[in-house]
Amino acid sequence: MLQTRVDSGLDGVIVADTVMSEVDGEAGRLTVRGHGLQELVANRGYEGVAALLWEGYGKGGGDESAVREGLAAARVHAYALVPRLLAASAGLSPVEALRVGLGMLPDTDPTPHHFLVCGALPVFLAALLNVRRDLPAVAPDPSLTTAQDLLRMIRGQRAGEAFEKGLDTYLATVADHGFNASTFTARVVASTHAGLISAVLAGLCALKGPLHGGAPGPVLDMLDEIGEADRAEGWFDEAFATGTRLMGFGHRVYKVRDPRADVLKAAVARLPSTAGRLAFAAEVEKGAIAALRKHKPGQRLETNVEYYTALLLEALDIPREAFTALFAAGRVAGWCAHIFEQEKGGRIIRPQSNYVGPRPNLAA
C-alpha cells in the first residue's frame, strides 16, 4: 500500500545506492570513492578526482592523463562556440549564460559528452568574464590543467603556482558531495535517458539557487554589510530577529562542521595576503554562533562549504557574480559520474505525491 507520510525535502530518504561519495553528517566526514576528503585533495588535483569518480564506466576514468587530455581537447573544441555564446547571452549573469552555453551543445556532438561539458564550462566562463570587462576571449591552452588554463584565460597570463593550486583545490573539493540537490536533479533527468548534456544542464539549474550553489556571492555581501568584526554579533542578532538566513551557514546533512570548509579555509591561508581577511571571517563566525546561542539555544549552525568558498574565490580575484558558475565548473565532474551510475543501473525516478486536493463526487 502507498505510504502517505510526506518527507518534506526528502529529508533522510534514501533513493539509491552509490559508489561515488558518502557524506557522514554526524562525524563531519566526506568520503569520495574510498578516499577521505583531506587525503584526496592533498594527493589529487581536479583531473585526478574526475578520473577517480569516472572509474569503471569506460569513459577514460581511472586514467588521469587520459582525462587531462580529454578535457584539454574538449576545451579547444568548445572555444569555437564562444562567439555564438557571447552573442546569445548578452545581459545575462555568468550562471544564466552558462545555461545558454550548455543548451547550445548538440546531443550529436562526437566529443565524449562528459569531456565536452567539463571542457566547455571553464572556456565559456572565462570568455563571459572577459567580455564583461571589454576584453577579448582567450583561447585555451591544451597543455595546461583545467585550473591553470581557466585562470590563464581569465587573466590573460599564467596566474602563478599558488593561485593555480588554490583553484585546483577548490575544483577538486567541490567535485562531488553525495545526493545534493543538483546531483539528484541530474540523476532524475539521466533516469529518463535524456542524455548527459540535458542532465548536466538540469543540474546547473538546480545549483543556481541561493540555498545551494548560489550562496557564496551573498556570503561576501554579508561580510561587506557587517564591515567590522565588532559589529558581527549585533548584525546576527538583527538577522535572527528578522528571520534572515545566514548565507554560508547551515546544512541539511552535516550536524557538525562541513569538512570542506576547513579544507578551503586552509587553501585560503596558503594564498598571499589573506591573514587579515581570514581573521575577520573567523570573528564573524564567532559572532554568528554567539547570536545563535541567544536566539536559538540548543540549535547548531556551522559554516558550510560556501563560507570559505567565498573567501577563496575572492582571494583568487574571481568576481562574486561568477562564484556559482565556477562552482558548476567543479561539480560537473560529479554530475557526470552520477549520470554514468544512474544510466548503468538505475530505473526511471518516479516518486509519488500524496493528493490533498478535492476529489470528484463519484456518486453524482
Residues carrying an active site annotation: 251, 306
- Interatomic CA distance for residues 25 and 257, integer angstroms: 9
Question: With respect to ligand ACO, which residue has the nearer C-beta, 45 or 248?
Answer: 248
Burial of 238 from C-beta contacts in 10 A (0-12 / 13-18 / 19+): exposed
Residues 6 or more apart in contact with residue 67 via CB below 8 angstroms = 47, 50, 51, 54, 60, 61
Residues 6 or more apart in contact with residue 128 via CB below 8 angstroms = 85, 86, 89, 94, 97, 98, 322, 325
Question: With respect to ligand ACO, which residue has the nearer C-beta, 60 or 248?
Answer: 248
> What minimum distance in Å lies between the beta carbon of 326 and ligand ACO?
13
Cross-strand bridge partners of residue 21: 32
Q: Residue 339's closest CA among 174, 25, 118, 77?
A: 118
> What minimum distance in Å lies between the beta carbon of 98 and ligand ACO?
17
Cross-strand bridge partners of residue 29: 24
Question: With respect to ligand ACO, which residue has the nearer C-beta, 104 or 220?
Answer: 220
Cβ-contact 123, 146 below 8 angstroms? no
Question: With respect to ligand ACO, which residue has the nearer C-beta, 215 or 326?
Answer: 215
Binding residues for ligand ACO (CB under 6 A) = 9, 180, 211-213, 215, 245-252, 296, 301, 304-306
> What minimum distance in Å lies between the beta carbon of 251 and ligand ACO?
5
At 31, give phi and psi (nearest 5°). -115, 125
- Contacts of 276-283 spanning 24+ positions with Cβ under 8 A: 277/311, 277/314, 277/315, 278/311, 279/229, 280/223, 280/229, 281/223, 281/307, 281/308, 281/311, 283/229, 283/232
**C-alpha grid cell, residue 359:** 476529489
CA 71 to chain centre: 18
> What minimum distance in Å lies between the beta carbon of 305 and ligand ACO?
5
> What minimum distance in Å lies between the beta carbon of 211 and ligand ACO?
4
> What radius of gyration do the chain's Cα atoms show?
21
> What minimum distance in Å lies between the beta carbon of 279 and ligand ACO?
22
CA distances from 281 to 260, 275, 288, 291 (A): 16, 10, 11, 15
Question: With respect to ligand ACO, which residue has the nearer C-beta, 26 or 161?
Answer: 26
- Interatomic CA distance for residues 312 and 231, integer angstroms: 23
Query: DSSP code of 257?
Result: -
Cross-strand bridge partners of residue 249: 303
CA distances from 301 to 15, 112, 193, 198 (A): 26, 42, 39, 35
Question: With respect to ligand ACO, which residue has the nearer C-beta, 9 or 360?
Answer: 9
> What minimum distance in Å lies between the beta carbon of 252 and ligand ACO?
3
Q: Which residue is nearest to ligand ACO (CB)?
A: 250
Question: With respect to ligand ACO, which residue has the nearer C-beta, 294 or 296?
Answer: 296
